[in-house]
Structure 1
Amino acid sequence: MRRVSRIAVAGAATASLALVLSACGGTSTDSSSAESQGDKGLAIAYDVGGKGDQSFNDAAYAGLERAKNEFKYETADIEPTEGETDADKAQRLASLAKQGYNPVIGVGYAYAPAVEEVAAKYPDTTFGIVDDSQVQADNVADLVFSEEEASYLAGVAAAKSTKTDVVGFVGGVDIPLIHKFQAGFEQGVKDTDPKVKVLSQYLTQTAEEGGFSSPDKGKTAAEGQIEKKADVVYAAAGLSGQGVIEAAAANKVWAIGVDSDQYKQEALAKYKDSILTSATKDVAKAVYNLAKSVEDGKPETGIVRGDLKTGEVGLADSNPKFADDAELQEAIEAAKEKIINGEIKVKSS
């Protein structure tokens, strides 16, 4: 069942006809800006780094693939372009909506201005934005996560695993979203073992400088922290995090991955024995759930948050050395329970 129009429908035949046309096309009622192109499904527009980042964008793609396989409809996924503007993003989203895709999701906070602009022009299309809660519209779902909670658990794991009492955090871009990862990680480390020192560093001030898309920058930053005795390094840096993991493997220290379970990523297979765990957020599930809500005719809107309680953030346990460490698992489970019941309040900045 595809999504129906949000506009209230009276009993008149003309209104009923409009509803049917909206359900079939899944596009704007503004005929000057859009025409129905058929009953297409989910479309996603990637963030910086694009598909193949083994992290954030790939998780969104996994959600798209699940929806495609389950609902048997046409999907689309579009790569970003270097140096693109908000206008470029808006044009991309508008094109997808005009073609009849529904829902249309911008992957990453950078899509906020574009989603806000285009959603107003296509009120009968559901839009989603991952990692931003500022877009307020009747046909927009803000897909956000409590990354600080998963990062707190990563901090517990780091503090329990370090032998040098020095651990590192590498953030891709110095922005509030990544501050959540840093704040949670540092709090988790300090609450677990106050004597452990945390070295924190950001790769760039803006995404345009490559903070989320430059493995070489991540590798250099991690090497610098390892030289300062860090033996566990946590990266929240998108594609740049691959460089952090590579540096950890080369220096025989632990890396903690992010967003996806990076131990399982094919492109990182040769480094997997150095990936202790990953602080995950289930972008795939959020993307799929939005597509399913549209398919069911009850589109999600407003802020849709994933956290430890919902099971949409957490720590991956694919590495047997991590999963089989009873003391470590006991500490993580205890911290998780306290966060869920409110005994621990995790900082987000």
Structure 2
Amino acid sequence: MKTRLLLIAAILATALMPVSASAEPALTVGVAYDIGGRGDRSFNDASHAGLEKAQKQFDFELVPVVTDGSSADREKRIRSLIAKNCDPIIAIGSGYSPTLQALAVEYPSTHFAIINDASVAALNVTSVIFADNQGAFLAGFSSAQLSKSGKVAMIANPDQADIYKDGFSAGVAAAKRKVIPIVKYVSGSYSLATTQVLDAGADIVYVTTQGSDSEILKVIASRGAKKKGAPIGMINVEPDQFITITNSTKRFLLATVIKRVDKAMYDIVALSLAKRQYLDILDENAGIYGRRYGITGGGIELTVRSNSLLRLSNSINAAAAIAEKIPA
């Protein structure tokens, strides 16, 4: 009996002992946010959303830093994550590419990833990009389906000619309606460019520039409020752009092409825990590897906001099946 009592006492003593701190996380993930950090309503926020989802699923420590945008500060921020033994280190935005190109060589055993860039040639750098052509195809197809004037437009940066040709224009043609696509490359005033395409007869405008879309939407809403007959509207891209919508302007935002940056961030963490990384060939000659997210697998999505487009869901889904075959 005495032995049994001693055994019970020992068990109780063990149960009442203070619980030691939980085991160290299996992974320490470093994230280098771009200028402004969280709250930018763009790539930083989309990236954080993916990490937040990953934290609910996996056990890992997250170490965030934010750059002021200078080259020296970007290097300082990445080095601080390396010093804290973060692996992987995920950089948000192409501004980090020169820094990663240098540090990937200096630290070959550290795994890096960069979001929305494919210019760093190193096996230990995962480049994550999105199939802009596929999203533009859906926007072009949807624009042509809605157009009443017979003209639709894309407002783009000067370096986005391929997105217009292989994406937006091809999508317009796939709609098989008598609709003419217009492109306006802009490096100055977005409101002026918007006015010009509307004056040229376009009634649906697809915007692929980066930054705020509020100026463009304001011009479209102002014109739409005065216009009699067929409505006009806009399709935008997230998280490349952010927009302030009011009760008077929301009806003019017809749809949004969404790059699932959150999904990419979640996937990077999941792969890192499995001791893997994306090594798809993005540019064989340059030696650039990573992952291009497209419609297949849900990396590119179209969020429809217009009731007129909602009624065309079957046609849009059929167009998506075509778009996902477009090489990016």
**TM-score greater than 0.5 by the shorter chain:** yes
Distance 1:261 1:54 in 2: 9
**Secondary structure of 1:229 counterpart:** coil
CA contact (8 A) 1:164 1:231 kept: yes
Of 181, 185, 198, the residue aligned with 2:181 is: 198
Of 232, 256, 278, the residue aligned with 1:278 is: 256
Of 234, 247, 252, the residue aligned with 2:219 is: 247
Return closer, same or farther for 1:157/1:90 CA change in 2, 3 Å cut-off. same
Aligned pairs, number: 286
Distance 2:129 2:271 in 1: 16
CA contact (8 A) 2:195 2:219 kept: yes
Residue-by-residue CA offset, 1:95-153 (whole Å, 9 max, x unaligned): 33223333222223343222111222233332111233332323211112211011101
* Mapped pair 1:306 → 2:293: yes
Q: TM (normalized to structure 1)?
A: 0.71
Return closer, same or farther for 1:55/1:254 CA change in 2, 3 Å cut-off. farther
Q: TM (normalized to structure 2)?
A: 0.75
> Paired residue for 1:66?
53
Distance 1:261 1:139 in 2: 26
Return closer, same or farther for 1:231/1:320 CA change in 2, 3 Å cut-off. closer
| Percent of aligned pairs sharing the same letter | 27
**Secondary structure of 2:48 counterpart:** helix
> Paired residue for 1:189?
172
1:322, CA displacement in angstroms?
Answer: 4.8
Return closer, same or farther for 1:43/1:250 CA change in 2, 3 Å cut-off. same
> Paired residue for 1:30?
none
Of 314, 337, 341, the residue aligned with 2:321 is: 337
- Residue pairs, 1:8-23, within 5 angstroms: none
CA contact (8 A) 1:146 1:305 kept: yes
**Secondary structure of 1:74 counterpart:** strand
CA contact (8 A) 1:277 1:322 kept: no
CA contact (8 A) 1:159 1:196 kept: yes
1:282, CA displacement in angstroms?
Answer: 0.8
Distance 2:48 2:294 in 1: 20
Distance 1:41 1:137 in 2: 19
**Amino acid across the alignment from 2:318:** A
CA contact (8 A) 1:259 1:279 kept: yes
CA contact (8 A) 1:51 1:58 kept: yes
Distance 1:149 1:244 in 2: 23
Return closer, same or farther for 1:248/1:125 CA change in 2, 3 Å cut-off. farther
* Mapped pair 1:258 → 2:237: yes
Larger Rg, first or second structure (1 or 2): 2
Distance 1:118 1:128 in 2: 12
Of 105, 111, 122, the residue aligned with 1:137 is: 122
Of 271, 274, 293, the residue aligned with 1:293 is: 271
Of 232, 244, 254, the residue aligned with 2:204 is: 232
> Paired residue for 2:66?
78
**Secondary structure of 1:41 counterpart:** strand
CA contact (8 A) 1:181 1:236 kept: no
- Residue pairs, 1:216-231, within 5 angstroms: 217-231=189-203
Distance 1:194 1:80 in 2: 48
Return closer, same or farther for 1:54/1:169 CA change in 2, 3 Å cut-off. farther
1:333, CA displacement in angstroms?
Answer: 1.7
1:267, CA displacement in angstroms?
Answer: 3.9
> Paired residue for 2:133?
148
**Unaligned regions of 5+ residues in structure 2, if any?**
1-23, 225-231, 280-288
Residue-by-residue CA offset, 1:18-71 (whole Å, 9 max, x unaligned): xxxxxx899xxxxxxxxxxxx632413326x86545344432232233234444
**Unaligned regions of 5+ residues in structure 1, if any?**
1-23, 27-38, 205-210, 212-216
**Secondary structure of 2:213 counterpart:** helix
> Paired residue for 2:29?
41
Distance 1:77 1:69 in 2: 21
**Amino acid across the alignment from 1:329:** S
The structure with the largest strand share of the pair is: 2
